[in-house]
Amino acid sequence: MTKSTRKPGVFCLEGRWSGRFTDRSSVEPILDILDRQRIARYVHRDVATIHDFEHYLEQWLQPGYRKYGIGYFAFHGNPDVFHVGNTEVSLDDFAEMIDGRGAGRVFHFGTCSTIQVPPKRLRRFVKQTGARAVCGYKADVDWIEAAALDLLVIDAVAHYKRIDAARNWLDREHRGFLRRLEFKMEWRT
């Protein structure tokens, strides 16, 4: 397996985890660990509305952010959708927003159940967006466990040039964890 020498970037959009203003839950400390360990640099934005989401997504899709090739979407989710504020965004809606401009990027959903769809549907998402890969959880997941696996997934994608090599490493080193959280990854072949 060929390891990459590049330091990739992560572009993270994160929703609110509760309606309480005192809730400080965030995936940003995970990103900070990756940055401090010189695994990946990052951009993190809190997203409260669909308008915020669309604005930041448009920024990420600009050529100037191409070095931030890992999109990390941390929201509440259900099968085939994730929740941005009061709006449900389906994988089809998301693919339309991207409109083929996701070439070479990895889309990681740190969401419950969003990719609980047939593999054919995920392959269509990869094709429609131009993505290198899409991954996430088919199950409703524990927040802390999902955050830990998100860290491992981003680390693997950052270290390996080939997505299948990253997936193989994850499977070899963390198979039980992947199965318990029903992790799924589809990539461009």
Q: Rounded to an integer, what distance in angstroms lies between the CA atom of residue 64 and that of residue 181?
A: 34
Q: Cα dihedral angle (90, 92, 95, 99), rounded to 10 degrees? A: -130
* Per-residue model confidence as pLDDT tens digits over 17-71: 767 776 777 999 999 999 999 999 999 999 999 999 999 999 999 999 999 999 9
pTM above 0.85, yes or no: yes
Question: Is residue 8 predicted with pLDDT exceeding 90?
Answer: no
183 DSSP β-pair partners: 137
Give tens-digit pLDDT for 156-172. 999 999 999 999 999 99
- How far, in Å, CA of 135 to CA of 94, rounded? 14
CB 78 within 8 A of CB 118: no
Query: pLDDT of 70-116, one tens digit each?
Result: 999 999 999 999 999 999 999 999 999 999 999 999 999 999 999 99
